Chain A
């Protein structure tokens, strides 16, 4: 009987697929399977592509292709004089997805917004721990509990956030994936059925695409949402064909099995660029690979030693050999796509003679030090071991003897945080929300020592600038402050900024209106296929 039922249902699906033969389908060869479909606790870029960008919306969202924030589920917002209250006006008539497992009876309201954040925030909320061992990584990581005092509904379509202190990056935080708005009505239904886990496998959102089906490690299917508040999408079906190996993804694109793919292998880029049917878009990634000097340990406590060591490194050679065209010299901590980037800062000079002189002047001769190499490959540093080897030989030329050390990734980061860590430490960062605070404060504020400030660098002047920028809402003023902070950073050299990655996105020429996101997301909102 069960088999007969399944067969019947399946026949219906096949019939549906056949009937929709003329439907416009976009196939995206994605790089990994999503852990699940609830964006709140998720952390991976591929997780967010499959959830928040396809199925959900946020109060505010990053403009396609940029890091500026624009209205989404909130039509408008107001920040009070003292910067302590943000009031969002919700868009009226926003529909929730209707799926075989849930039929909504009401539109989006303030209740949904409050539920979205309270489940991540309040430990007594029934949803705080609804999956075994879950953590609300981003909500915690962006320090939301520290800054949010209260979230209240003024009326059905007005939500007020009360903050503990003025916080300019808060709006950008609310545009992040973890802040995707989920349905309270759907959550209540699952709670009544005692089936909380389904919230992570059968998603319901307000976004441009409705979730249809997921076959583990194989394929995710979506359908354009007919009642989407911003209009139905130009394509009808969106398919994520999960293909982990980058060379195989490239072959699938060439063979026409998919229309667009992320993260090609560096070795395949030339072939993809030469294919007459394909276009390869490219952009700097919102990231930085750098080498942290521990400024509390001699001789790295001497700024001239740090400068000399940076000067002794042939960055151009490293970028060519290790990044193979997928990297760009970083002269600042933030990438050039980010607002407040200070282009006046001169690039690091490669001058072994001068480096030698500076070291001698500082009384550093016969220095032997550890040099840390990350065990993992990241876009901002694809091969830290190779980088370390190149630096080792550059330093040998100025009389510095480096021993390369490496550990398993979590272990590596833990040891890197030790206050008495010996030697320069390779590490990097990928931006979360396009706000400069997310780089400067996260990586080099005094309070980040022992967390992610691997240089143990706490500079009063720098700290004052970034703290002022954090509490100022005028963006122009903030840009000025960050611009100055970059000057201090360069003068003090707590770390050598190595490179930003270059990101490539190959696609068929028939794919229209795709915009690369500097934040590294892959969103298919507004994308069309030429027939």
Chain B
């Protein structure tokens, strides 16, 4: 097992270098000058321009800029945002909990609805429920997120008034973040009303963000389940006279879930990378919205380091999923 983890870890090093190279050079081939972008509609004097170029090291050869950057990153220095002048890592750490909280709740929603729906559709294959579930799943998968989010806001928040429109908590609550996870913080403050408010604010964004993973999980569960239900050991279990419920829940489900877990892991990795559209619609202060705002502000430093940080997080999650997978399925370790 240790051998397996070490092998996976070793793979991360070239990946990180590759990603840092991509992030670094992509940002540099973009048209536009970062110094000019920093100055507003009045521009900047040629003397000041030179001073700033030197200050940011843009006057050095590009390979030297890259190694300086890599060196800084290895020391935990991801640079300072061009617009806010705050360290990129500080901003990332401030905003990341909001992204994690939303991603986990969205995933919880997707799993709790997606897996039972998939199982039921498989067991009742060909029934109206199966067709309805798969139809809805396909629709969910192809839904434009921005439109879907606005539609839910207009209906549930605007028309019915059941849920708040956006934000993480009602503005009447003034709680300074402790962990950055609103649900946990409100509990730590012992403020029940604030907790309810935070939960209400999570409902719509979690549904919107969970829609695509829900569709993927439901379809994956259904097909895995169908495959397993045709296996010999399931027939044996039935032949032994076990109840259909037991056959499905114990014998079939366990094996059918293995590919589903991989899917869940991959989806979590994607969600943690920042749900750009969902965060933007719901004014959710997470890293997806942060990245988009930085791109529109041409904050090259944030874009470059943000990409790298997000890639590191996704890789870390994938590693954890791989390890868990190896724990569940010993055959993986041998391969």
List residues of chain A with CB under 8 Å of any chain B CB: 3, 6-7, 9-11, 13-14, 16-17, 25, 27, 32-33, 35-36, 43-44, 131-135, 137-138, 140-142, 197, 200-201, 213, 215-219, 221, 239, 241-245, 247-248, 251-252, 254-255, 257, 407-411, 414, 429-430, 451-452
Contact = CB atoms under 8 A, between A and B. Distances in A.
A248 B165 contact: yes
A410 B32 contact: yes
A201 B84 CA distance: 10
Contact of A255 (B55, B165, B168, B171): B165
A14 B178 contact: no
Contact of A14 (B94, B154, B189, B290): B189
A218 B280 contact: no
B36 A414 contact: yes
A135 B298 CA distance: 16
A193 B82 CA distance: 24
Given A132-B85, A248-B153, A32 B158 contact: no
A438 B56 CA distance: 32
Contacts of A44: 40
Contact of B176 (A33, A132, A213): A213
B33 interface: yes
Nearest to A197: B85
Nearest to A218: B285
Q: Which of B39, B82, B171 has the most CB of A within 10 A?
A: B171
B2 to A, nearest CB: 35
Given A140-B45, A216-B285, A200 B177 contact: no
Contact of B167 (A134, A138, A218): A218
A216 B280 contact: no
Contacts of B23: none
B43 A7 contact: no
Q: Which of A36, A140, A201, A215 has the most CB of B within 10 A?
A: A215
Contacts of A25: 171-172
Contact of B157 (A10, A239, A251, A410): A251
A255 B164 contact: yes
A435 to B, nearest CB: 15
Contacts of A409: 32, 37
Given A135-B38, A219-B171, A35 B85 contact: yes
A359 to B, nearest CB: 34
Interface in B268-295: 280-283, 285, 289-290, 293
B42 A138 contact: yes
A243 B167 CA distance: 8
Contact of A133 (B33, B52, B285): B52
B25 interface: no
A134 B283 contact: no
Given A10-B178, A133-B38, A244-B289, A251 B189 contact: no
A93 B317 CA distance: 59
Contact of B171 (A27, A36, A411, A429): A27
Nearest to B188: A7
Given A215-B177, A248-B281, A255-B164, A411 B31 contact: yes
Given A17-B174, A251-B157, A430-B41, A134 B32 contact: no
A17 B173 CA distance: 7
B43 A451 contact: yes
A134 B86 CA distance: 12
Contacts of B172: 17, 25
Interface of B: 30-33, 36-45, 48, 52, 55-56, 80, 82-86, 91, 94-95, 150, 153-154, 157-158, 161, 164-168, 171-178, 188-189, 191, 280-283, 285, 289-290, 293, 298
Contacts of A11: 189
Given A9-B176, A248-B150, 14 more contacts: A7-B188, A16-B174, A36-B85, A44-B40, A134-B85, A140-B44, A217-B289, A243-B283, A248-B281, A255-B158, A255-B165, A408-B30, A408-B31, A452-B43
A123 to B, nearest CB: 9
Contact of B44 (A137, A219, A414): A137
Per CB-CB distance, the 7 closest pairs between chain A and chain B, nearest first, are A141-B42, A43-B40, A408-B31, A217-B285, A131-B85, A410-B32, A218-B285
Nearest to A44: B40
A410 B191 CA distance: 49
A241 B174 CA distance: 12
Contacts of B175: 10, 13-14
Q: Which of B48, B52, B86, B168 has the most CB of A within 10 A?
A: B86
A138 to B, nearest CB: 7
26 contacts: A6-B176, A7-B188, A7-B189, A10-B175, A14-B175, A32-B293, A33-B293, A131-B85, A133-B52, A133-B80, A134-B85, A135-B44, A137-B42, A137-B44, A141-B40, A141-B43, A197-B85, A216-B95, A218-B167, A219-B167, A239-B171, A244-B283, A244-B289, A252-B165, A257-B164, A257-B167
A242 B86 CA distance: 19
A14 B171 CA distance: 12
Given A35-B84, A36-B85, A133-B38, A248 B171 contact: no
A242 B38 CA distance: 22
B123 to A, nearest CB: 41
A352 B56 CA distance: 53
Contact of A36 (B38, B84, B282): B84
Nearest to B170: A257
Nearest to A409: B32
Contacts of A6: 176, 178
Given A13-B174, A135-B39, A218 B168 contact: yes
Nearest to B172: A17
A133 B80 CA distance: 9
A3 B289 contact: no
Contacts of B42: 137-138, 140-142
Contacts of A132: 55, 80, 85
Contacts of A16: 174
Contacts of A241: 167, 171, 283
Given A10-B176, A11-B189, A408-B31, A135 B52 contact: yes
A46 to B, nearest CB: 11
A243 B164 CA distance: 13
A247 B171 CA distance: 19
